[in-house]
Amino acid sequence: MRKVLHFSSPRERYICDAAVVGCYDNRFETAFRKLLKRTGIFYSDPIRVAGGAKCLASPQREEDREFVMEQVRLSMRLHATRVVVLMLHSDCGAYGGLATFKGDAVREAEHHRAELQAAARFLKNSIPELAVKAYFIDFDGVWEVDTISESEPALECRSAV
């Protein structure tokens, strides 16, 4: 091995503010990092998979859901995580992009709100002691999704940024 960068990392274990289940689409990275900072999440365990919270709400394969759940459980065990943040974004390729919704951003937001609520229910049913927060990111901002109610329309999402 050859050292290519000197950097001193903290040796102490940390307590995680949240495990973050999100997509790895980089278009939304800056907005999402700002959101985490604004909501007081400085130490996170990122769980990045195509589609993010889709793996919990409507996975292509049950193994995808189990993988994400195992990562959440490891975060809890290793870093005392008690909060999970779920994220979905507009034009996500794992859902077929905005084209799947025929370019209708409101319809897409409604669908992703329902998906985030389903993912939150699955997490809470599986690990009741977890607190779950959910966010939808589009090209204009970040929207907080109520993870309790199933009946709120997408337009009732609260802006988080």
Length of the chain: 161
Q: Which residue has the higher pLDDT, 3 or 149?
A: 3
CA distance 22 to 17: 15
**Mean per-residue pLDDT, 41-67:** 97
- Does residue 34 carry a pLDDT above 70? yes
**Mean per-residue pLDDT, 56-71:** 97
CA distance 21 to 24: 10
CA distances to 51, 74, 135, 152 from 48, in Å = 9, 14, 15, 28
Domains and CATH numbers, the chain: 18-159 (3.40.1050.10)
The token duo for 129 is 């002691």
Cβ proximity of 60 and 70 under 8 Å:
no
Q: What is residue 148's predicted lDDT score, i.e. its pLDDT? A: 75
- Does residue 132 carry a pLDDT above 50? yes
CA distance 74 to 81: 9
- Does residue 158 carry a pLDDT above 60? no
pTM attached to this predicted model: 0.88
What is the average pLDDT score of the chain?
92
Q: What is residue 156's predicted lDDT score, i.e. its pLDDT? A: 43
Q: What is residue 13's predicted lDDT score, i.e. its pLDDT? A: 87
Where residue 160 falls among pLDDT bands split at 50, 70, 90? low
**Mean per-residue pLDDT, 38-65:** 96
**AA letter at 26:** N
